[in-house]
Amino acid sequence: MKIAVFDCFAGASGNMILGSLVHAGLPVERLVQELRRLPVEGWDMHARPVTKRGLAAVYLDVRVPGEDLAAHQAHTHDEHTVDKHEPYEDAPSRDAGHGARQDGDAHDADAHDGNARDGNAHNGDAHDADAHDGNAQHGDTHHGDAYHGHTHQGDAHHGSVHDHAHADHRHEGLAHRRLADVLSIVHAAGFPADVERTAEAIFRRLAQAEAKVHGTSLEEVIFHEVGQIDAILDICGAALALHMLGIEAVYCSALPYGGGRIHSAHGEMPSPAPATVELLRDAPVVRLDTEGEFVTPTGAAILTTVASFATPPAMRLASSGYGAGRSDFPFPNVLRVLIGQTLSRTESGEARPAGERAVQLAANIDDMSPEVIAHATERLFAAGALDVWTEAAGMKKGRPGTVLCALCLPEGESAVSQVLLAETTTIGLRAWDVRRTVLERRVHTVATSFGPVRVKVVESPVGRRAKPEYEDCRVIAEREGLPLLEVMRRIEAEVGSGPASADASASTT
């Protein structure tokens, strides 16, 4: 199984995550090409090599010129910030000082998750104005990279509103969106199902944290920083990057936090921002003896949604990457990712366990339409379920019914249970521990007559078998105007199932 392990010794933000994955081997051009499917315009993305305390890394630079300019004009400068009017291009090498925000995401006063990508650390700037995860690249009281070191009130990376139907709220000249608006943008892109599920789960987790911090409902939360284009690109980009690299499981180290205060549209707030604290609930954290914001809401939302904080299994390391933040600190301001294949029992020298522990949930339903069950299934996957299925059952009074079942990891039981109770008509559910045995598997990208196709190779007791990924075949079928089964048959014939055929034409991604 191909896994990614994030080592967050200096913290994490949205574009630090993307930068690390690009440095580890993901072609940024492919990532940009996929992100262009989103119905938003006027943005650009570049991977720039930088050095942090002698360590080579990649800074993933996302710019939305119209929004940056509008944000800059909408806010006043704080007289006490550092490095005023510092040229944008030079910012990565400048020291923002202690108390700076982590790379890219600026929050507005309230733990707002937003990657502020404009050179100014706008208070509440970045992806959302309110309680939004933002990588504040600003040198001011925010741990991270200061683009200019200014503190502006408002949204930094997005000053202007791109003309589409999702911006239903404005604040100081900037468009802000509710959860439904952001999800409609994500759904319109037509990403592969697992990418869409991951992005939706991250945004929902952000919305839940914001709603709790602001004392409002999920539906009424206004995304300021994280509703802006660069934040949408960060989150969708993270989901796409993991998919494109064939990552099947993600692990994460303990997350650091600092102290001090951060500036926001509502005044000074404690660091970490309130939304970040809520997102880090139940995650392992470690206090650093430095003032600043080390983990932004965007970074916290991504990692606490996709990653396990358990000890990662033994693996054969294939690649590593470092994603840079904007500020300079006494230590390299980078996020490291390690990517590799888990080892078999023989390779690792360890006895394979009887099976890994999981939790199975089940609810009996006899008064809900199939359409609603299909919706509940999607929501369960988005909440972290490993698998979801239905079973036919005979209910009381002889009525036919359905047992909706979900499998999840123990740490995901609460979230999956809440969705099962909220999205169905059941008045209760059952849960029990199970152990599952999982065959060794890995994903390759194989050159075929249709172009690159991801192929899953499974090691079974009787040999190796390979199967092309459904989503890749579906896209090819639609593009070529061919029946899906015909595309799958032809690719399977080209790939084969033997050891040589699957590996000879494959390049592990």
Q: What is the pLDDT of residue 265?
A: 56
470 and 393 inside one domain? no
Average pLDDT of the residues in 215-222: 78
Contact 442, 2 (CB under 8 A): yes
Task: Show the tokens assigned to 506.
Answer: 């494959």
Cα-to-chain-centroid distance, residue 409: 19
Nearest alpha-carbon partner for 273 in 207, 213, 184, 342: 213
pTM of the model: 0.57
196 and 102 inside one domain? yes
384 and 290 inside one domain? no
149 and 296 inside one domain? yes
pLDDT at 146 over 60: no
Backbone angles phi, psi at 138, to 5 degrees: -130, 145
137 and 105 inside one domain? yes
Q: Which residue has the higher pLDDT, 243 or 458?
A: 243
d(CA 158, CA 104): 13
Q: Which residues are CB-neighbours of 197 under 8 A, at least 6 positions away?
A: 378, 381, 382
CA angle 85, 90, 93 (to 5 degrees): 115
Contact 384, 415 (CB under 8 A): yes
User: Tens of pLDDT along 335-388?
Assistant: 999 999 887 544 544 444 556 789 999 999 989 999 999 999 998 988 889 999
Residue at a domain's end among 331, 351, 371 = 351
Per the structure, the complete domain to which residue 390 belongs is given by 356-436
Residue at a domain's end among 330, 351, 372 = 351
Confidence of residue 48 (pLDDT cuts 50, 70, 90): very high
Q: What is the pLDDT of residue 25?
A: 95
328 and 464 inside one domain? no
The CATH number given to whatever domain includes residue 420 is 3.30.70.1380
Cα-to-chain-centroid distance, residue 404: 27
User: Tens of pLDDT along 113-130?
Assistant: 333 333 333 333 333 333
Amino acid at 442: R
376 and 324 inside one domain? no
Question: Residue length, the chain?
Answer: 509
**Cα R_g (the chain), whole angstroms:** 23
Paired residues of 356 in beta bridges: 436
Residue at a domain's end among 436, 465, 491 = 436
Provide the mean pLDDT of the chain.
76
Q: What is the pLDDT of residue 93?
A: 33
Confidence of residue 444 (pLDDT cuts 50, 70, 90): confident
pLDDT at 413 over 60: yes
How many domains does the chain divide into? Answer: 3
375 and 423 inside one domain? yes
DSSP code for 66: H
DSSP code for 1: -
207 and 296 inside one domain? yes
The CATH number given to whatever domain includes residue 497 is 3.10.20.300
pLDDT at 256 over 50: yes
Residue with tokens 């949205």: 14
User: Tens of pLDDT along 298-323?
Assistant: 999 999 999 988 888 888 899 999 99
82 and 99 inside one domain? yes
163 and 136 inside one domain? yes
Q: Which residues are CB-neighbours of 54 under 8 A, at least 6 positions away?
A: 332
Q: What is the pLDDT of residue 136?
A: 37
344 and 398 inside one domain? no
Backbone angles phi, psi at 496, to 5 degrees: 75, -175
Q: Which residues are CB-neighbours of 427 under 8 A, at least 6 positions away?
A: none
Task: Show the tokens assigned to 193.
Answer: 């199902």
